[in-house]
Amino acid sequence: MEPTPADDLLTFIDASPTPFHAVEEAAARLCRAGFTEVDLHEPWPAGGAAFVVRGGALVAWVAPEDDPARPLRMIGAHTDSPNLRIKPRPDMHSAGFRQLDVEPYGGLLLNSWLDRDLGLAGRVIVRDGPRQLRSVLFRDDRPLLRVPQLAIHLDREISERGLLLNRQQHMIPVWGLGSASEGDFATWLADAVGVASDQVVGWDAMCHDTLPAGFLGASEELISAPRLDNLCSCFGAVSALISAGDVADGVVPLIALFDHEEVGSTTATGADSVLLAQVVERLVTVRGGTAEDVVRACAASRCLSADMAHGTHPNYPDRHEPNHHIALGGGPVIKTNLNQRYATDGETAAWFRVVCDRAGIPVQDYSHRNDLPCGSTIGPITAARLAIPTVDVGMAQLSMHSIRELMASADVSMMTTAFTGWLAG
């Protein structure tokens, strides 16, 4: 039996404990669908279905060889999620425990990381010769680490004051008993990737929930998973590009999965880099287009910034804008913020609404309460970088930035259908 889109999303998430793994999984899916990987550093072919990878970012497209000024239909999303990342000198010990020092990455709900069994994954930079470096992905899904919460008997104020966690003091996981010496973690990493410990010259390592993604609820109508924000949108974008390649009409479908959204996007692989602009320019010029064609293509292009949306919380309905309640399972959500924390405007919202109408998919409208600061997405950033009108869209979820997030299974297939329609024209 063919897996449902919801089943397939769980597979995608479990394959992607880090942005590097998410990109590797996306690349594997694209390769199976006939896409070719091209290198930013090498010349590119004139057209076709291809993708480029840089660190935790990936851009993929289907570009016919004719008319270089063809407009693009784009979907942008992000591969990173808030988590705990291993510091450069992580080996430490206290009260008879070996510990690994971490830095919280992004705006994580710290409490959700307490008392969870954590694995380790990421990439190791290995030295093979005096100047020869290579990057090797690793993952270990065994329960290796845990941030133990203080017993209630030793924290009597917790019931009145709530749980107060200091990001420096209270989030350091234990990973065994005994004492630590400098280099222990590097040695462990060397073992994990099968090299000598003096070959390990760098790493980007992070913790992940060892419990796989799964269904939840009396009728399994919900999905309980880590990193739904924003692997759900990455999965939707990849699936949609694979389906849209054959049906795109007069446009170039393209997806851009960026890293580092959770920390502001201003990095070489973030949305606030020139990565996407460079790819778009090359796509036009390798097909014989001029600088004018680049601007013409962009001028008629449209972008959908895909990121998760806040469903209305059953225990806190008062935190939501009363006239814009969002249901899990109610279909894609158009996110509008008239102060432009989201890039949506009346026209871009209308484009997306028409796509969903044609496919018979319901659409919901999100607006943040005026008295709460609104989060943002890559939408306004990519819109500004390329001067391409953008709509911010996402699927509804609860527990955003928790180690374990919650969404509705039914929304997954509505998302992939809507995204395919968007990319197709």
Q: 413 in the Ramachandran plot: left (φ > 0), alpha (ψ -120 to 50) or beta?
A: alpha
Q: Could you tell me the smallest distance in angstroms from the CB atom of residue 308 to Zn ion?
A: 6
Q: Could you tell me the smallest distance in angstroms from the CB atom of residue 381 to Zn ion?
A: 13
Query: Quick one: which of 176, 185, 242, 220 has its CA closest to 27?
Result: 242
Q: Could you tell me the smallest distance in angstroms from the CB atom of residue 187 to Zn ion?
A: 35
Q: Could you tell me the smallest distance in angstroms from the CB atom of residue 379 to Zn ion?
A: 11
Burial of 186 (0-12, 13-18, 19+ CB in 10 A): buried
How far is it between the farthest Cα atoms of the chain? 71
> Cβ closer to Zn ion: 25 or 229?
229
Burial of 152 (0-12, 13-18, 19+ CB in 10 A): exposed
> Cβ closer to Zn ion: 124 or 403?
403
> Cβ closer to Zn ion: 79 or 230?
230
Q: Could you tell me the smallest distance in angstroms from the CB atom of residue 241 to Zn ion?
A: 19
d(C-alpha 316, C-alpha 322), whole Å: 12
> Cβ closer to Zn ion: 91 or 307?
307
Query: Quick one: which of 61, 33, 59, 34 has its CA closest to 46?
Result: 61
Phi first, then psi, for residue 60 (nearest 5°) are -135, 150
> Cβ closer to Zn ion: 81 or 243?
81
> Cβ closer to Zn ion: 82 or 331?
82
> Cβ closer to Zn ion: 113 or 258?
258
> Cβ closer to Zn ion: 229 or 281?
229
The neighbour count for residue 315, using CB atoms within 10 Å, is: 7
Q: Could you tell me the smallest distance in angstroms from the CB atom of residue 79 to Zn ion?
A: 10
Q: Could you tell me the smallest distance in angstroms from the CB atom of residue 377 to Zn ion?
A: 7
Q: Could you tell me the smallest distance in angstroms from the CB atom of residue 229 to Zn ion?
A: 4
d(C-alpha 158, C-alpha 151), whole Å: 10
Mutual angle of helices 19-32 and 5-14, in 10-degree steps: 130
Burial of 196 (0-12, 13-18, 19+ CB in 10 A): exposed
CA distances from 410 to 201, 330, 361, 404, 415 (A): 45, 8, 11, 18, 9
Q: Could you tell me the smallest distance in angstroms from the CB atom of residue 208 to Zn ion?
A: 17
> Cβ closer to Zn ion: 230 or 336?
230
User: By the 8 A CB rule, do 283 and 74 touch?
Assistant: no
> Cβ closer to Zn ion: 99 or 376?
376
User: By the 8 A CB rule, do 243 and 250 touch?
Assistant: no
CB neighbour list of residue 398: distance below 8 Å, 6 or more residues apart = 310, 311, 313, 328, 405, 406, 407
Phi first, then psi, for residue 218 (nearest 5°) are -55, -35
Q: 306 in the Ramachandran plot: left (φ > 0), alpha (ψ -120 to 50) or beta?
A: beta
Torsion of CA 359, 12, 17, 237, to 10 degrees: -30
CA distances from 159 to 153, 203, 399 (A): 11, 40, 21
Applying CB under 5 A, the residues found at the interface with Zn ion are: 229-230, 307
> Cβ closer to Zn ion: 140 or 272?
272
Q: Could you tell me the smallest distance in angstroms from the CB atom of residue 27 to Zn ion?
A: 21
Q: Could you tell me the smallest distance in angstroms from the CB atom of residue 367 to Zn ion?
A: 18
